[in-house]
Structures are given as C-alpha cells and as structure tokens.
Amino acid sequence: MFQLFLLIIYVVAVLLDITFGTFSEDLGVGLLSAGVSLFHILPSLSLTVRRLHDIDKDGWFLLFLLIPIVGPILLLIWMLTPGTPGENRFGPQPAD
C-alpha cells in the first residue's frame, strides 16, 4: 500500500510540475517530483529493511541493489516471499 500511495503522490507531483512549467524534459524530473522522491527515500529504505527482517534476512542485504541486474531481481524475489512464520531473530511476527 505504501508503494501505491507513493506512486499516486509522484504522478500528481509530475502533473503539477508540467502544469506549473517546472518540469525539465532534459532531466526528466521537475521541482515537485524531485522533492517527493527525496522525501520518500528514508521511509522506503526503512520499510524495505523491515520487510527483509520479516523474512529473517539482515538489512544489509539491501546493498544487493548495487549489483547490476542480479541484485534488484533477487531483492524483488525476496520482497515477494512470505514472511517467516512465528518469531525469528528480529522479533515476533508483525500483526497482519
């Protein structure tokens, strides 16, 4: 739900950038959309680490994103994996 909410806000920011003329076609980003992206970096990182903890993986596995092609695919597979049932080394299973 967080990613859907982020996408909606980002699309609205791009539309506002185009309307107000602050969208740069050369850079492919506008003033408002860049601000939205910067504002959501930390919450996105923290939710990804929390999801990694749900499947009993360390947050440092987020650095796999730096490996071209293979890293993002592996992280996507992990994000789609069901969480560890019960308690793991990061604590109890979060409520559904």
What pLDDT sits at residue 76?
Answer: 94
What pLDDT sits at residue 49?
Answer: 93
Task: Name all contacts of 73-77 with Cβ < 8 Å and 24+ positions apart.
Answer: 75/48
- State which amino acid sits at residue 50: R
* pLDDT tens per residue across span 49-90: 998 998 889 999 999 999 999 999 999 999 999 988 888 888
Domain ranges in the chain are 1-39, 40-96
Q: What is the pTM of this model?
A: 0.75
Q: What distance in Å separates the CA atoms of residue 59 and residue 78, rounded to the nearest whole number?
A: 12
**Is pLDDT above 60 for 96?**
no
